[in-house]
Structure 1
Amino acid sequence: MVVGDISTGTELLVIGAGPGGYVAAIRAAQKGVDTTLVERDAYGGTCLNHGCIPSKAYITVTDLAHRAGHAEEMGIHADPVVDMAGMREWKDGVVDQLTGGVEKLCKANGVNLVEGTARFDGPNRVRVAHGGEGQGSESIEFEHCIVATGSRPIEIPNFSYDDLPVLSSRDALALDSVPERMVVVGAGYIGMELSTVFAKLGTDVTVVEMLDDALPGYEDDVARVVRKRAEELGVEFHFGEGAADWRDGNDGGIVVATETEGGERSEYDADVVLVAVGRAPVSDTLDLDAAGVETDEKGFIPTDDQCRTNVDSIFAVGDVAGEPMLAHVGSKEGIVAAEVVAGEPAALDYQAVPAAVFTDPEIGTVGMTEDEAEEAGFTPVVGQMPFNASGRALTTGHTTGFVRVVADEETGFVLGGQIVGPEASELVAELALAVEMGATLEDVAATIHTHPTLAEATMEACENALGQAIHTLNR
């Protein structure tokens, strides 16, 4: 039996329950706004279910196994065996706990939850098709709407995700067994993270990238540290090559063909090919034209500093709104949009947005680089502390990399920082706070840091910029 179409109303409708959507829904409900959240797949979105959380779970497991098997210099001799199915089961447990928590938090804060796929049916109404045969649909009228539908992996010509040997990042995180050979297309942060994971699991990994180095967008000396470590783990890089096509091989595997700009072709044997060339917005399912919402040529929804689209009552947050496509940025945008809906004077400020890459070693960045500071009209002063001079780094066995701080020479204000090394994703928070609070080099340097910790490297980098470092040579 088909359930008849029903019609309901809400003050705020949020489409998508990822890090931008569910956070927006909860904050709006906390502000007394009648809020309805529509999700078609799973609470927590790509981040919790198929991206950030499962990938970091795998990174943790593979780091543990690899470190245990390569710790002879510490007096540890072991030969760990990784059970891929068991690892996946543990990862799924972590995901289930978090996604279940999101649903409970939404309900506890009074958010009305609706399962289904939403499409606009006008500037103040959507139709939600419920999943499953005979489940019908409903119309929801709203005063305000926040679009938080996220993004999906980009598919490139001749590499359809419908073909079993072709994997998206989501597919790679759902494998039941470890492939012997893998070609990774793309050396951005997703490609580099997963290349490291599978290399540590024993896979022969070959990375092809059209650009001339890994991790485009990061400074050369930062990317170099990560690429060198990946090469030590056995990852083979081929730059200046783009994936052209693939075919079945003679040994039961596949052959991936690449091509340079000059037309030169190369071939690489593999069992699977992971395509990690970026993500595209999920905006084509919404029928945005019906609401009058404009998109750019790539499908992203342009917004202002309050996350408003060109339609005043409709907002967009997270990946669907474009760069920076980071889960924590989506959450912040969701909070801003919700508070604007609630009548508060909220607005975005992107000057202190930290970013992290969970490679080996990790990368953490925030604010300006030295070159960016110069371009912005500052006279930058730079301080740096290598981890091989850190007592705590030496006791962990992770001494590769450095902390770098960029500040304005005249005022001493911290403008940004770049960290590559152990726990960089955690350490960058101190520099993000410094940029956000308008702290100076002296503020950070004068703050007593616990010894022995990795965080002391941030203090020493600031001292180095002031010309008074004790544990590293001053510039």
Structure 2
Amino acid sequence: MVVGDVTTGTDVLVIGAGPAGYTASIRAGQLDLDVTLVEKSAYGGTCLNHGCIPSKALITATDLAHEARHAEAMGIHADPAVDLSGMVNWKDDVVDQLTGGVEKLCKANGVNLLEGTATFVDEHTARISHDGEGQGSETLEFEHAIVATGSRPISIPDFSFEAPPVLDSRQALSLESVPESLVVVGAGYIGMELASVYAKLGTDVTVIEMLDSILPGYDDDLKRPVKQRANELGIDFHFEHTASEWYEPGDGIRVVAEPVDGAAANGGGEAPRASEEPSGATASGSTEAIEDERLEIDAETVLVAVGREPVSDTLDLEAAGVETDDRGFIETDSHARTNVNHIFAVGDVAGEPMLAHKGSAEGQVAAEVIAGEPAAIDHQAMPAVIFTDPEIATVGMPESEAAEAGFDPVTGEFPFRASGRALTTGESDGFVKIVADSADGFVLGASIVGPEASELIAELGLAIELGATLEDVAATVHAHPTLSESVMEAAENALGHAIHTLNR
């Protein structure tokens, strides 16, 4: 590509180099299409640089320190010193290795890499603006386009991410020192993952959630072990409250949380001046209720993790005729096509579920459809994983959804407390649950909470994808002692002949 005031062309323009975009680019390159991938900041997108990978690196590192510190039952007595700066440097090395690999893979598959910000001029033309003085912009004509611009953290009133004490998830993954106290706004998966990370590092963590429980959308039996573990870590929760404002009373900050019913009436408003300390001022990390459930929480910093929104407002989609819904998501069909036949959208910008692996799958489908291959998106066996402590993983239909779909579901469970391997790891909270159709035994769904749930769910996803039955899973000999035996035992329990747990 020639940088400057020129017009060039490409078969496929891909906007955004996250998992959805770079996967689409590589697959399109493999299919002998001329591909141009435009990325404005870093290859790998949010997932590799500021989300999935760095958060899992810190979760692993803090778990290691925490487990060593609490392994007395195994005869291990240790008190490891944690250097957060060193931990973050290690995390960054992992990220650099992966993002560098993405760039090399793109080049090896013939993908043209272009740094800049893309906006549509019309349905077959985009303008690429290059950062830096004197870099200018260029025009790119395309036969097909794939929008993969991802998502960004949602902000809330009076909590600007530009204010140093207020963190988004990206900033929370790059702190140089462990804060003494932290308020987390939002008890979804991002909030719960990072709350656990910092609690294990010794931070006094308080979570504010507007709903009545953690992890909205997950069944109570899956959430219960996570909430119990969070309580053991000393995390405080205030449900049915919204964070309305923050101010600096002196050292640190003070976060004000209003009960949900009163949040709209109070409306946040202007934060008091630093000298205007209301009654009920408390020590760092403590909480006091004033004015009938209104809370004031002192902390060193605050993390806002209330969800993510699509990045679709930077593209001038209207110029290309591409439509979005009222939340800004680009609506697509089973081939990842938008309402404009030759323009596709994949990943977070294309809607829920906002999962990296879902975006990668959509990226492959979009590339193959453009190349004339028979491909379509199938969400039937799309797993969802959250790396809380313990982990939660689901795939397919839960029991209630199976019943609503007209099946007569039968379920089987196996508790990890009955797993020899789980007991030898010291992690025996949770269970494997499998859902099948009682008429023919076909596996419809599964849920796991417990050790290595993120790994174990793949077997059950494959079972759904292949149309396996309970008999198929139960008859598959699993190595002993392993956590995966729990999957076999759950299937046997559904059939009424589990060996290591009582049958229903």
- Paired position in structure 1 for 2:150: 150
- 2:108 and 2:52 map into 1 onto residues whose CA distance is 25
Classify the secondary structure of the residue corresponding to 1:223.
Answer: helix
- Paired position in structure 1 for 2:286: none
When normalised by structure 1's length, the TM-score is 0.99
How many angstroms does 1:224 deviate by?
1.0
1:292 to 321, 331, 346: 321
How many angstroms does 1:261 deviate by?
2.5
Q: Does 1:262 align with 2:291?
A: no
Classify the secondary structure of the residue corresponding to 2:19.
Answer: coil
- 2:260 and 2:383 map into 1 onto residues whose CA distance is 34
Alpha-carbon deviations, 1:448-471, whole Å to 9, x = none?
001000000000000000000000
2:333 to 304, 313, 320: 304
Classify the secondary structure of the residue corresponding to 2:128.
Answer: strand
- 1:95 and 1:9 map into 2 onto residues whose CA distance is 32
- 2:258 and 2:441 map into 1 onto residues whose CA distance is 48
- 1:194 and 1:18 map into 2 onto residues whose CA distance is 22
- 2:298 and 2:358 map into 1 onto residues whose CA distance is 39
1:349 to 372, 378, 389: 378
Assess if the C-alpha contact under 8 Å between 1:128 and 1:140 holds in 2: yes
How many angstroms does 1:4 deviate by?
3.8
Alpha-carbon deviations, 1:390-426, whole Å to 9, x = none?
0000110000000000110011000000100000000
Alpha-carbon deviations, 1:309-332, whole Å to 9, x = none?
010010000000010100000000
- Paired position in structure 2 for 1:85: 85
The one-letter amino acid paired with 2:254 is V
- Paired position in structure 2 for 1:98: 98
When normalised by structure 2's length, the TM-score is 0.93
How many angstroms does 1:266 deviate by?
1.0
The one-letter amino acid paired with 1:284 is D
- Paired position in structure 1 for 2:304: 275
- Paired position in structure 2 for 1:240: 240
Assess if the C-alpha contact under 8 Å between 1:127 and 1:137 holds in 2: yes
- 2:309 and 2:216 map into 1 onto residues whose CA distance is 18
- Paired position in structure 2 for 1:434: 463
Classify the secondary structure of the residue corresponding to 2:80.
Answer: coil
- Report the number of matched residues: 472
The one-letter amino acid paired with 2:133 is E
The one-letter amino acid paired with 1:142 is F
The one-letter amino acid paired with 1:255 is R
Q: Does 1:13 align with 2:42?
A: no
Assess if the C-alpha contact under 8 Å between 1:125 and 1:139 holds in 2: yes
What are the within-5 Å matches in structure 2 for residues 299-378 of structure 1? 299-378=328-407
- 1:97 and 1:4 map into 2 onto residues whose CA distance is 31
Alpha-carbon deviations, 1:82-112, whole Å to 9, x = none?
1011001000000000000000000000000
- 2:97 and 2:128 map into 1 onto residues whose CA distance is 27
- 1:271 and 1:6 map into 2 onto residues whose CA distance is 51
- Paired position in structure 2 for 1:403: 432
Classify the secondary structure of the residue corresponding to 2:296.
Answer: strand
- 1:166 and 1:249 map into 2 onto residues whose CA distance is 15
Assess if the C-alpha contact under 8 Å between 1:249 and 1:269 holds in 2: no
The one-letter amino acid paired with 2:68 is A
- Paired position in structure 2 for 1:461: 490
CA spacing shift, 1:117–1:34, aligned 2, 3 Å:
same
Classify the secondary structure of the residue corresponding to 2:247.
Answer: strand
2:408 to 375, 379, 397: 379
- Paired position in structure 2 for 1:223: 223
How many angstroms does 1:221 deviate by?
0.8
- Paired position in structure 1 for 2:185: 185
- Paired position in structure 2 for 1:389: 418
Which runs of no fewer than 5 residues in structure 2 stay unpaired? 263-292
Moved over 3 A (4+): none
- 1:319 and 1:210 map into 2 onto residues whose CA distance is 24
Assess if the C-alpha contact under 8 Å between 1:186 and 1:276 holds in 2: yes
Q: Does 1:414 align with 2:443?
A: yes
- 1:180 and 1:59 map into 2 onto residues whose CA distance is 18
- 2:447 and 2:328 map into 1 onto residues whose CA distance is 31
Classify the secondary structure of the residue corresponding to 2:303.
Answer: strand
How many angstroms does 1:6 deviate by?
1.4
Q: Does 1:447 align with 2:458?
A: no
The one-letter amino acid paired with 1:79 is D
Assess if the C-alpha contact under 8 Å between 1:148 and 1:317 holds in 2: yes
Classify the secondary structure of the residue corresponding to 2:436.
Answer: strand
- 1:159 and 1:332 map into 2 onto residues whose CA distance is 35
Alpha-carbon deviations, 1:136-156, whole Å to 9, x = none?
111110000000000000011
- 1:178 and 1:7 map into 2 onto residues whose CA distance is 50
- 2:29 and 2:260 map into 1 onto residues whose CA distance is 53
- 2:114 and 2:4 map into 1 onto residues whose CA distance is 16
